[in-house]
Amino acid sequence: MKKNSLLWIAAGLLASLLAWWAFSGEEEINRDITVSSFRANFEDVVSSSGELMAKNSEDIMGPSNMRRYGLYNIKISDLVAEGTYVQKGDFVAELDKTELSGKINELLNELDKAKSQYTQTQLDTTLELRQQRSEIEALAFDIRQKKVEIEQSIYEPPATIQRLKLDLEKLEQSLDQKRSNYIIKQKQSAAKMVEASANLAQTQNKFDALQELEKEFRISAPKQGMVIYKREWGGRKRKTGSTISPWDPGVATLPDLSEMESRTYINEVDIRKVEVGQLVEIGLDAFPEAKLSGIVTEVANMGEDRENSDSKVFEVVIAVNESDSTYRPGMTTSNRIITATLESVVQVPLEAIFSEEGRTFVYKNSGVSIIKQEVMISTSNDEFAVIEAGLAEKEEVYLTEPASAQDAEIQAI
């Protein structure tokens, strides 16, 4: 009997030790994941990544008159590396000449045909006018001969003389008609030559223009600077293999590095907080030690669809106050747009905020137990929430949901 009693006492002590260890361990864990609410100045911040760009730049353009010759989408066959420093006149890009060469060959055939047509028209009109002149000369000779016959027919019967005179009159009428026709033929020949000459000149001009256009397929820098690839409508940069068109012939840009800006895109939830004139803290991924400042200068009125975004985003332009020759367009920026500043307000980390059935609360350590305390949040950023009611300064709250208090009732404010 005594032996059984001792066993039960030992089992009870062991259970008590295990329970103490479990509860003390849980308290230790709970202490590790609690923080105190604090009072400090609060900055409502909208954070986003952006891209560093030059405020002003000069585009390096391809041929602008491609549409005139039926050239609409031309590939870039060669392009210097982005970031290359070039001098005025240096090579920047080469366009694919395949389609252009085909048009030049077609026009060369047309040019040969126009030259042949011009020569043929010239020969035909020369021969035709020469024949007309020969016929006129023959008629004039016949008239002279007929006059001689009439002069020698004074002893001939009157009827014979009358016939000769009629023949002469007929020859003279034919001569007049031939001379009139010759004048018309001259005008017709001149018109044909003008038409052939105009066709030849027009074809020659087209051929010369295409040859000049071919020279423009080698694109040079309009001035010195650093080459930055031009962005297309969808945000992608042009590169070897990209196409340009008469409506968007830009290949690259030469940025002015003295004035920089960061272009970023804000989601439709946060854009309502962003306004022109707000201050921005800017960081550069390439230079973690760099701390730049800026100001919002433009906020888009219309949203747009962007790759890797499920919702509409709005473009925001931020002017960078600092400039440095080491900063390059295209560098990734981290932007903290300060949308509001509140002085001396109670705050807790966002991880301490929970919600249930439309009510917002925190798990508060009252010293005796854990309370699900309802709170009212006035605003928040990506780190902290401002507590307007329900929690005072220096109260201990949990960053994770304590299992022992999950089913507790929410205490109203």
Q: Phi/psi zone of residue 321: left (φ > 0), alpha (ψ -120 to 50 degrees), beta? A: alpha
Regarding whether 288 and 141 lie in a shared domain, the answer is no
Q: Are residues 185 and 108 in the same domain?
A: yes
At 52, is the secondary structure helix, strand, or coil? strand
Give the domain CATH number at 299.
Answer: 2.40.30.170
- Is 195 part of any domain? yes
Assign residue 376 the CATH number of its domain: 2.40.420.20
**Cβ contact 313:268 at 8 Å:** yes
CATH number, position 203: 1.10.287
Residues 46-91 have pLDDT tens digits of 999 999 999 999 999 999 889 988 899 999 999 999 989 999 999 9
22 domain residue, yes or no: no
Q: Which residues contact 272 (CB under 8 A, 6 or more apart)?
A: none
Residues 116 and 66 grouped into a single domain: no
Q: What is the spatial distance between Cα 154 and Cα 326, in angstroms, rounded to a whole number?
A: 117
Whether the Cβ atoms of residue 83 and residue 225 lie closer than 8 Å to each other: no
Total domains, the chain: 4
144 and 290 both lie in a single domain = no
Residue 140 lies inside a defined structural domain of this protein: yes
C-alpha distances in angstroms, 199 versus 101, 195, 322?
A: 22, 6, 61
365/391 same-domain check: yes
Q: What is the mean pLDDT of residues 9-31?
A: 43
Quick check: is 18 in a domain?
Answer: no
SS3 letters across 320-345: ECCCCCCCCCCCEEEEEEEEEEEEEE
For 224, the 3-state DSSP assignment is coil
Residues 255, 56 contacting (CB under 8 angstroms): yes
Question: In this structure, are 285 and 239 located in the same domain?
Answer: no
Domain identity same for 143 and 189 = yes
Contact (Cβ atoms closer than 8 angstroms) between residue 266 and residue 309: no
In a domain, 17, yes or no: no
Does the residue 16 lie in any domain? no
Residues 303 and 379 in one domain: no
Question: Which domain-ending residue is among 299, 314, 341?
Answer: 341
Nearest to 62 by CA among 218, 184, 177, 295: 218
Confidence of residue 32 (pLDDT cuts 50, 70, 90): low
Say yes or no: 128 and 73 in one domain: no
Phi, psi for 153 (deg, rounded to 5): -100, 25
Q: Which residues of 163-183 are buried (b: 16+ CB within 10 A; e: fewer)?
A: ebeeebeebbeebeebeeebe
Residue 103: pLDDT band (50, 70, 90) is very high
Is the domain of 112 the same as that of 76?
no
Q: Based on the fold, state whether residues 300 and 271 are members of the same structural domain.
A: yes
Tell me how many degrees the CA angle 292-47-320 measures, rounded to the nearest 5.
25
Q: Is the pLDDT of residue 28 over 90?
A: no
Query: Dihedrals φ, ψ of 73, to 5°?
Result: -130, 105
A 10 A CB-CB count for 374 gives 17
pLDDT digits (tens, 9 = 90+) for 255-279: 998 899 999 999 998 999 999 999 9
The DSSP-derived string for 93-141 is EEE--HHHHHHHHHHHHHHHHHHHHHHHHHHHHHHHHHHHHHHHHHHHH
- 77 lies in the same domain as 129: no
Indicate the pLDDT class of residue 154, thresholds 50, 70 and 90. Answer: confident
Does residue 25 form part of some domain? Answer: no
CA atoms within 13 A on the CB side of 38: 8
pTM for the predicted model, two decimal places = 0.57
Residue 9 maps to a domain: no
* Structure tokens given for 150: 């009439």
CA geometry: angle 379, 381, 382, nearest 5 deg: 150
Domain that holds residue 294: 50-56+257-341
